[in-house]
């Protein structure tokens, strides 16, 4: 029952991050925009750190075939790549052929819901390995979700939703992480190689997100002080992942 309590609590915490739009309303978009690059930097370090410090070492330790484990990492990278390509294509296609306002918002909600469901699967699978691995993965997911949910909130507002409606829809989409946890913990133990696959698969997905989606965002900063601050945040998040090893 321990993994159920930790997994559902972690998924609930990640889901509540969808309410970050309240912060946007309270402090204003301009102020938040100055903080977002630092949050993205933290997410980069957390994703790389969790993948390379926790998930991959655990995956190779429990695997009977290092080559197969490496293949699962590649599968994770490629699947996240193809999923993102499909969502981008679907977004652009719908934007051209139908009303580009509300339909785009709903497409964003569907894609975000799929992402949150996958987050729930990942969180549940990580707690099946151990509580420390689950905590590290939850931290990585949460830090990634903060800037993403802020962006999703902005999309819904720009599409014509009221702030209250945007928060409600974002929270509903985020709640699919809880569904993902239930599916993961219900089916995972009955699938013998579930964590053997999910650990390197998750590591591949985290490496793809950090390297393909987040690091390019940081290159928008051209000034030395801002770049050094970003680097410091990346290193700090990686350091946090190493610190979490102490509780394993």
Asked if residue 165 is part of any domain, the answer here is yes
Asked if residue 166 is part of any domain, the answer here is yes
Asked if residue 25 is part of any domain, the answer here is no
Structural element, H or E, at residue 44: helix 29-49
Asked if residue 35 is part of any domain, the answer here is no
102-136 pLDDT per residue, tens: 455 666 677 678 778 888 999 999 998 888 889 99
Question: Rounded to whole angstroms, how far apart are CA atoms 24 and 17?
Answer: 12
Asked if residue 26 is part of any domain, the answer here is no
Higher pLDDT, 138 or 150: 138
Question: Rounded to whole angstroms, how far apart are CA atoms 170 and 173?
Answer: 5
Which of 69-73, 155-159, 197-201, 239-243 is least confident?
Answer: 155-159
Provide the domain count of the chain.
1
Question: Rounded to whole angstroms, how far apart are CA atoms 200 and 198?
Answer: 6
Structural domain containing residue 206: 2-14+42-247
Are 41 and 233 contacting, i.e. CB atoms less than 8 angstroms apart? yes
Asked if residue 153 is part of any domain, the answer here is yes
| pLDDT of 170 higher than 50 | yes
pLDDT (0 to 100) of residue 97: 41
Asked if residue 7 is part of any domain, the answer here is yes
| Nearest alpha carbon to residue 236 among 55, 39, 15 | 39
Asked if residue 134 is part of any domain, the answer here is yes
């Amino acid at each position: 029952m321990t993994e159920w309590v930790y997994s559902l609590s972690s998924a609930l915490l990640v889901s509540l991050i969808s309410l970050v739009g309240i912060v946007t309303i309270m402090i204003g978009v301009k102020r938040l925009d100055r903080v977002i690059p630092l949050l993205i930097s933290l997410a980069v370090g957390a994703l790389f750190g969790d993948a390379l410090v926790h998930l991959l070492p655990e995956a190779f330790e429990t695997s009977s075939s290092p080559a197969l484990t490496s293949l699962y990492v590649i599968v994770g990278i490629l699947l996240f790549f193809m999923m993102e390509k499909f969502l981008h294509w679907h977004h652009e296609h719908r934007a051209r052929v139908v009303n580009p306002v509300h339909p785009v918002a709903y497409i964003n909600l569907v894609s975000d819901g799929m992402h949150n469901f996958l987050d729930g699967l990942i969180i549940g699978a990580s707690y099946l390995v151990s509580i420390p691995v689950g905590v590290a993965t939850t931290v990585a997911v949460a830090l990634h979700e903060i800037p993403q949910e802020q962006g999703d909130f902005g999309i819904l507002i720009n599409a014509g939703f009221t702030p209250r409606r945007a928060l409600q829809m974002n929270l509903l989409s985020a709640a699919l992480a809880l569904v993902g946890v239930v599916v993961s913990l219900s089916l995972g133990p009955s699938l013998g190689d579930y964590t053997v696959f999910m650990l390197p698969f998750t590591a591949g997905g985290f490496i793809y997100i950090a390297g393909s989606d987040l690091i390019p965002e940081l290159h928008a900063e051209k000034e030395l002080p801002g770049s050094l601050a970003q680097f410091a945040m990346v290193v700090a998040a990686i350091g946090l992942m190493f610190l979490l090893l102490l509780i394993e």
